[in-house]
Every structure is written in structure tokens, then in C-alpha cells.
Chains A and B, each alone.
Chain A
Amino acid sequence: MDKKIEDKLRWDPYVLLRNSEVTTFTSEHFKVTERKVLYVMGSGFDYRMNLGIRSVKNSDTAIDMDCLLIQYDEGKSSSSRKYKPLVDANLGDLKTIIPAEKIIVKHIDLWTAAGKKKQRVGDKNASDVFDDPALLAPYTDIFVDISALPRGIYFSLIGKIQAIIDLNYPSNEKNFFIIISENAELDSHIKEFEPDSELSYVFGFRGGSELTSDKKEVIWLPILGEGSAGQIEAAHEKIEPDEICPVLPFPSRDPRRSDALLTEYHKLLFDELNVEGQNIIYVPEQNPFEVYRTLAQTVKDYNDTLHSLNGCDIVISTFSSKLLSIGALLCAYEFKVLNNIKVGILNVDSSGYEIEDEESAQKMGDKSELFLIWLAGESYKS
């Protein structure tokens, strides 16, 4: 832990498990028979949709589990319409893992149409699913599997559940986990197109940069991933930051990945956006808690430095893997609770996804790595 952080971070120490550790942990954890699980997941075309639930269920077939399946419609060019056979196949597969009567389906609209304009409302709608805190009451363990959930949903969904747990179960009475099936190679086969034209901050993480009465310097921390130049430009135009600190993945499985990203975005970052070389931040590619710590440290440092200018507002954007994005979420959540520095999240969602080379993409699905991020519960009891 860096000595510069005076206040103790919430997730320090933390629990992060991967692959075989996940199954070892769950088989041990569910030996206690009175546990009851709520497994929240998305219904989609992604080959990784059922990897998490299968792994948890396989560790102990006797687990008492309800599955809350979130179905969403992305609009006319929706990939879930285009890849309906894949969605149906995933759904069929899910019913072999957990009986149909244990699956509670919640449908949410990602868009609302007011006159001629469409607005993204998926984040708020996803959060509204848990408006009734009694929904969580019967369960001892809550899992949110984000493998088949879009960014436009899971930030607010996780934030909402964490907020309810913090309010109603402050002594870590409930276990709260996030599960992700990570596969960078498969991600590179799923191309996003039709990015949103009217961007807005994620519900629950709007930060402070749009508060006109309390204008501060805006610092932008974009977590970079491949093939997102258009989205980065759009986000920059919306945020109009005073300073940019690009966040790159290192250490990473491919040790040259951050170099490749710098090559890809060299013109955009250094010629067009005039980013200073010393502003680059490196975070480990496969550890969201380390991402959270590094970002939290950066937020504090900037705020201290700009103290005489009334502090700063921070905006984090994730153009990279879902695993890294959890680090951003934790950082924004921490400061939301502390209510001292405003940290907003602005992502650029897309309406369309396309799978390149479906056959090989499907094969890659099996090579995914499973990560379990433990956010609240027994391990955090003091």
C-alpha cells in the first residue's frame, strides 16, 4: 500500500480469485448448507454468458440458487436480434444448468423514445430492478455476472446493489460478488459500431463536472483499449477536460500491449489532444483492485494539488476490458460514498455489435478466464 494514501481504502485488503481458485472457493463456501444464492446475469449472444453460473453450480449441485436474468433490447440494429439464435442457444444452455422455474426474467428497455429523440435509460432501468430492498433479503450470497451485460447496465446495477447492502447490511451480513469471464482475444472479435451520439454520465456516477454552480478543473482518466479512437474522441468532446491522464494496461499478458496502444493512439493523444507524456498511468491488466487503488491515489493526488483552485472533478472512461472497468467502478463508488471528491463515469456505449469470424470466436469462448471479485461480506468483517 502506498504510504501517500492516508485514509484507508475500503477494499484493502481485497479478495480476487481466478479460474480454479473460483471453483475451489465456491465448493468450500457452499458447504454451509443454509446459504441461498441470487445469481444476477444478462441474457445475450456472448459465448461466455453461462461460464460463471456453470462454474458456481458445478462446485456444488445442491446450491439453493435463484437466477435473475436480465433481458434487454438495444433497438433496431440490436445484436440480440441479429444473433437471436445464439441468444436462444445460451438460454437453452442456461436451463440445463438451473431449472427454468428458478429463473426470474426481468426485461429492461435500454432506450426510451421521447418524440423524435432516443435516450439511453438502461442504466437507470437496471438500477430500478432493485428498487425494493426486500428483493435481496432472502439471500445470503449475491452474484452479479457481467460477462453478458453491457457497460450501459452493469455500472449502475452493481452500484445500486452495493448501496443497498451498505445501507441495510452495514456489518457485512451479505456476500456480494462480481463474476467476469475474461477473454481479450474473444473481445477483439466482437466489434462495436454505432456509438451513441448523445453521451451522458452513468446513472449513479454522474460526478460533478456538469454542476455549473461548482465549476472545477476537470481531469479525465480514460482507460484505453484497442479500436476505440472514435469513442475516445466523442468522450473528449463531451467532457472537455482540462487535463488528460491516459490509463494503460501494464503488466499485461502481452507485455507489449501498452506500447501497441500508444502506437495506435499516438496521433490522437499527443498531436490532437496534446497529452503530456508524464501523465500516463499504468495499471495491471488483470487486477481490478489494483486499478481501483491506482485511480484512487491519482484522484486524491490531483485534488490535493489543485486544492487552492477549489479542487477538481474527475471523470473516468473505460474503453478497455470489463475487468479493468470494475476498478473504475470501485473508485467512483468509493468517492461517491465519501462525498468529498466528485468522480464521474462516462462511457461511450454502442447500439451495435458484430462478431467477426463466428466459428473461431465460439472456440475462443471456452478459453476464457474466470474472475471472482468479492466486494462485501464475510471476508470484510472486522
Chain B
Amino acid sequence: MKIRNPFLLRASERIESDAGFLRLYSPLVLDYFIDNMDAEELWNTFLFIRSSPGAGKSSLLRLFEPASLLTLLNRKSGDEFKELFKRLKKLNAVSDDRINVLGVNLTFTRNYELLESFSGLQPGVRDRLFYSLLNSRIITASLRAVLSLARLKFPEDLHKIEFNYKDEKLYFKKITVPCDGRTLYEWAADIEKTIYELLDSFLPISPASIEGHSELFSLEVIRPEYMLVDGKCLFDRVLFMLDDVHKLSSKQRDGLISHLMEKRSSTSIWLSERLEALNNLKTNRGRDYEELNLEDYWKERESKFEKLLTSIANKRAAESREDVEFALDAQQNELELADAYKEAKIVLFATISKLSQETIRFNEWKQYLEQFDGTEQEYCELAKQIEIIIHRNLARSELALEYTLSVQELIEKIDEKVVQAARLFLSRQFNLPYYFSMATLSKISTNNVEQFLGFAAPLYERMLSLNLNQTSVAISAYVQDKEIRKIANQRWKDLDKMIPESGLVIRFLENFCAYCSSETFRSTAPYAPGVNGFHIDATRTIRLIKEEEWLSNDIFIDLQTVLNTCLAFNLLHVREVMQGKKGQKKNIYYLNRWLCVKFGLPLSYGGWRTKKPDELLRWIKR
């Protein structure tokens, strides 16, 4: 059934059909694997997939589930699926006639964490129950995946699976193996149910009655050669995908990771988790594990991300019963803004005249501006650029010689950053549109499709209204800018209802954004086009605390809380940059781009300032 505004619809990854999901899935992210490792290396690597919420972790995992791969195999020649199939074939996940990898996807929820906080359990018992719950869920998920791959029915066809494992290590105490899939499933399901009952019973249940495990043996016993259907081995390898690992308690997560690293042999394991601050592994990347940071990946591919969003917008619009396309004007409407530019032209020229009245240095520049033969918009942009360059020149401390600077010198000084800063300054000073066009909307989405839909839905509502008036549905730059700022303001207003520790977080963001604003809008535009990020210099912490310890020091507990909340709720995102000594990487905390809109900041990357932890803490306390 078609609906009025399909941009509002929250079709979760789970609800979307496999074909619909694959149609919208951009295969570009698979290039990471293709470019960085050969197929065998990929399957033998312990991989972390990290991103902010909504950036595509779970979608990537879903792609490797049997149902998705089967759908893809069935439609591999279709135009919409060809590219995806080609890439997965390169990775050896599929061949022309079969699926090579059994993707077992297990999503963690908070109920593992409950074991950790559940009163009345001894620490040893907690660990044993944690591993038996994990074993149980990995085994049931694997059996379901095998049925799905074999196109068999759950649960009716469980008995058709032969579990051929010879239990030499005596992992299975209550069933005899080898056995059929049904016996194995019932055993595993029973463990899950009894643990669940323990966690949910008002009346006391003794944990001694539940089968506890001391290790994660499920990864060892679920192998292609042990899971046969009709006597045949259906796949070449198993890929265990553990999603939302951050939902485990810190102790469980750390324990699980070190257990997996120690125990893994040729098993393929992917762990996906939300980016969290200050959560480093004590092992070496490259040697012990690899990491795919989805945000960083898309950062290099902004234009491709925009294409992806355009495609999503077109597909959503096609679902509307109103038959209205999603259209955003990419240019300013100069007729609509004529008065504003006329006023700006006068003000800007007067400002430049005033700035240069005591010197002859800028006479040629003024003359160049007066004689400039362009539209009023172009004139104003040039005037603002000249104003910035004059401010920079005047700010120099050395005594300048009094001679006229040439136009050539001016042109050399106007680089892309100055152009961008001038646009931003102009928009702020004269209330001109700044946030408009699909490219800008793509930037505001901050590599997050859900965030894009959050902004696109009200814009599409506008288009539907314009359609009622039987005018062009394309929204003008001016209206887009107003609407986008309105949405950002509303999000900001709702923030205290949406996030924990909102008082601290809001105060921190307000102070940080005020700082960004003051740095950005300095008349010399020193960090053009502007500042919207910070780097934490842990080597510059207050004296009494050792450099590496500030993360765990109680003095900074509020800062840790704020940073973790900001990352968890996608208010800040981290990007790695190479800077300083050769190969030295720095983590830059950037504002989510919708916050840039709220505080009138630029959407560009690269504008960040280094801050000490205690300076950041002051933003929380003030």
C-alpha cells in the first residue's frame, strides 16, 4: 500500500524484505575488504566493525546472512544486484551456483549484562552462565542459518541436519553427540530458557541446576564438516558475526575478546560495536585484529554517499501515493534574494572603505571590487573575501610598508577556504541561505541514512504542500535553509528528553559550540572555513595526573560520561587524522553535522583545535 510521505516510515533493517534491503544496499563498502585484504586473509582475520548508531554496521552483517545471500544468488543478473554479486564473488562469499560462507549473526542485548549485575550469583557462576548462554545462542543461530542456507523449514526440518562432531573434549554433558540437529537445538534452547527463567523468576531458582560452561566451545564445534545435510557439506566456512558487542558489560566484553583472540584458530569472527570513547584494546591492530570504521570509510567517499542518498530519496519518493519527486534547488534564487544582496553590497563596500581608510595598501583591491562585473551575489562574495584578506593583512604585527597591493596578490590569497568562509560569514551577517542542496543535506546526514531520513521527511512534506498548489515542487534554497535550521533547532530542543545525563551533555555542547563559533567568526577567519571539532591532548593534562591515567581518573568521570554519551547518541563522531610525527594518528571529535546547523557552523572537516582534558571539563562545569 502506498503512503503519503514514505520518508517518515521507519522500516527497520529487520522488517525490510531481503530483496528490498539488497536493492538499497550500497556495495561500495565491500571495496574496503577487496582493497585491503585478499579473500583468504579476510576470512582469517579477527575483524572489528565500528561506527556510530545508524551508520550501517548491522546492514553489513545482514548482507552475509544466508537469506540475503540466497536472494542475491537468485537475482544475480538483475541490474540492481549485479555489482553487489560481483563484489561478494570476489570475496569468495558466493560462487556462481552456491553460497560459500555460512553467516551466523548473533545480536547482543542487555540480557547478558543482567547476568553481571544479578544479585545472588557467585562470580565463577556468572562466567559459566555467560559462556553457556553464548554457546546456546550461537548453536541455535547456527542451526537456523544452516536450515536457511539449505532452503529447509524451521523447526520442522531440524532433524535433517547431521551434527557430526566427535565430542573428544567432552563439551556435551547432557546429550550424546554425534546427533541430529533437533537434539542439538533442543539441548541449546533448553539452556537458554533455564537461564532466562533464573533471571526472571520472583522465586529462588538454584543456578546449580543449569548447565554451565567454562569456555566458548560453540565456535569450535560449528564447522562445515560437522554440519551436514543429506550427507553433504553445504558451505566452505562459517562466519560468526557478533553484533552490538558494546551491550555487554565491560568485564564481559573484555573477557570475551581476550577469550576469542586466544582460542580462535581458523574461525572467521566479526565483532560489531558502537564507537565508544576511551575504549582501547590492549592488543595490536594488524597483528591481532583488523578494524573497519564505517564513518572513516565513507569520509573518503562523500560523493558516493550523496549518490546513495539520492537513490534512497528517489526510491522513497516513488513509494508515495502523491507521485511527487524529491527535489531540492541546488542554487540560490537571486530574484528572491535581490533585496538582501542589494543591502549587503552597500554594507560590505562601506566596511571595506572604513577598514582601509587609513592606508593606501588596499586601493587597487577596492578599485577591483568597484569595477567587478558580476552578479550581486558574486559581488558580495568577493567583497567578503576581500574583507577577510584585509583583516588578515591588518592583523600582522610587523609594520607594513605603505605601498599598494596588487590584484594579483589578492587573487593568490583567496583560496578555497577563504571562499567557503566568506559564504558562511555572508550568510550569517545578512541572513542568506547557507544550508541547502542535496550535497549539503548529504553532509548534514553525517554518513547516517537514518539521520538523512529525519531531515528529508519534513522537506518532502513541503514538497507535497507545493504540489497541492500545483507549483514546482523543488524547494528554494531560502526555504530549504529555513526548514533545515528549524529541524536542527527542534532536535536540539528535544535533546533533554532523548539522552541520559542531558544536563551535562547540553552544557558541554553549548560551551563547545560557543567556542567553535568564536573561533570561526573571528574577522581574520584563521581556521577557515571554521572550527567544529577538537582533539584531546592527553599529554597536556594537569600535572598531578599521569598522562595515560586521565581516562580512568575519577576527576574526569563527568567528561568520560559526556564523551561516551555524545558518541553513543551520535552527537560527536571520531575521525582519525595523520598528523605530527610520521604515521602518528590523532582522534578528532567532530560535531555531528546537524549540531553544526544548529549553531550556524560550517559542515567541512579539518577545522579542529587541541584541548586539554581539564579544559574540556571546564565546559561541563561552567
How many interface residues does A have (CB within 8 Å)?
51
> A101 near B: Cβ within 8 Å?
no
Smallest Cβ distance from B90 to chain A, in angstroms? 32
> B294 near A: Cβ within 8 Å?
no
A99-126: which have CB < 8 Å to B? 112, 114-119, 121, 124-125
C-alpha gap A244/B104 in the complex (Å)? 29
Chain A residue nearest to B10 (CB atoms) is A272
Smallest Cβ distance from A270 to chain B, in angstroms? 9
List the A side residues contacting B136 at CB < 8 Å: 213
A229-267: which have CB < 8 Å to B? 230, 234, 236, 240, 242, 267
> A210 near B: Cβ within 8 Å?
yes
How many interface residues does B have (CB within 8 Å)?
55
Q: Does B192 lie within 8 Å of A211, measured CB to CB? A: yes
Q: Does A194 lie within 8 Å of B496, measured CB to CB? A: yes
Smallest Cβ distance from B135 to chain A, in angstroms? 12
> B362 near A: Cβ within 8 Å?
no
> B249 near A: Cβ within 8 Å?
yes
Q: Does B203 lie within 8 Å of A167, measured CB to CB? A: yes
Q: What is the 8 Å Cβ interface bit string for chain B, positions 476-519, against chain A (1 contact, 0 not)?
A: 00000000000000000010111111110000000000000000
- Which of B5, B189, B200, B569 is most buried by chain A, counting CB atoms within 10 A of its CB? B200
Q: Does B502 lie within 8 Å of A116, measured CB to CB? A: no
Q: Does A213 lie within 8 Å of B189, measured CB to CB? A: yes
Chain A residue nearest to B248 (CB atoms) is A117
List the B side residues contacting A205 at CB < 8 Å: 200
A134-178: which have CB < 8 Å to B? 156, 159-160, 163-164, 167
A192-247: which have CB < 8 Å to B? 192-200, 203-206, 210-214, 230, 234, 236, 240, 242
C-alpha gap A121/B113 in the complex (Å)? 11
Q: Does A125 lie within 8 Å of B119, measured CB to CB? A: yes
Instruction: Please judge, given known A-B contacts A116-B564, A159-B202, A210-B111, whether A195 and B498 are in contact too, CB under 8 Å.
Output: yes
Q: Does B118 lie within 8 Å of A124, measured CB to CB? A: yes
B115-150: which have CB < 8 Å to A? 116-119, 136-137, 140-141
C-alpha gap A198/B249 in the complex (Å)? 12
List the A side residues contacting B110 at CB < 8 Å: 119, 198-200
Chain A residue nearest to B114 (CB atoms) is A200
> A274 near B: Cβ within 8 Å?
yes
> A128 near B: Cβ within 8 Å?
yes
Could you count the A-B residue pairs with CB atoms below 8 Å apart for me: how many are there? 125
> B12 near A: Cβ within 8 Å?
yes
Chain A residue nearest to B253 (CB atoms) is A115
> B14 near A: Cβ within 8 Å?
yes
> A351 near B: Cβ within 8 Å?
yes
C-alpha gap A111/B176 in the complex (Å)? 43
> B196 near A: Cβ within 8 Å?
yes
Q: What is the 8 Å Cβ interface bit string for chain B, positions 548-564, against chain A (1 contact, 0 not)?
A: 00000000000011001
> B185 near A: Cβ within 8 Å?
yes
Instruction: Please judge, given known A-B contacts A115-B250, A117-B249, A271-B3, whether A214 and B496 are in contact too, CB under 8 Å.
Output: no
List the B side residues contacting A204 at CB < 8 Å: 200-202
Q: Does A194 lie within 8 Å of B560, measured CB to CB? A: no
Q: Does A267 lie within 8 Å of B8, measured CB to CB? A: yes
Q: Does A274 lie within 8 Å of B9, measured CB to CB? A: yes
Q: Does A193 lie within 8 Å of B568, measured CB to CB? A: no
List the B side residues contacting A193 at CB < 8 Å: 496-497, 502
C-alpha gap A143/B436 in the complex (Å)? 61
> A273 near B: Cβ within 8 Å?
yes
C-alpha gap A350/B562 in the complex (Å)? 17
> A294 near B: Cβ within 8 Å?
no
> A77 near B: Cβ within 8 Å?
yes
Chain B residue nearest to A351 (CB atoms) is B500
Which residues of B pack against A, CB within 8 Å? 3-5, 8-10, 12, 14-15, 106, 109-111, 113-114, 116-119, 136-137, 140-141, 185, 188-189, 192-193, 196, 199-204, 247, 249-251, 278, 494, 496-503, 560-561, 564-565, 568-569
Which residues of A pack against B, CB within 8 Å? 76-77, 112, 114-119, 121, 124-125, 127-128, 131, 156, 159-160, 163-164, 167, 192-200, 203-206, 210-214, 230, 234, 236, 240, 242, 267, 271-274, 351-352
15 A-B pairs within 8 Å (CB atoms) are namely A114-B251, A160-B202, A163-B202, A164-B203, A193-B497, A195-B498, A197-B565, A197-B569, A204-B200, A213-B140, A213-B192, A230-B494, A230-B498, A272-B10, A351-B501
Closest 8 CB pairs of A and B: A115-B250, A213-B189, A163-B202, A271-B8, A230-B497, A213-B140, A206-B200, A200-B110
Extra 9 A-B pairs, beta carbons < 8 Å, given A117-B113, A124-B119, A192-B497: A77-B501, A112-B117, A119-B113, A160-B202, A212-B106, A212-B192, A230-B498, A240-B15, A274-B9
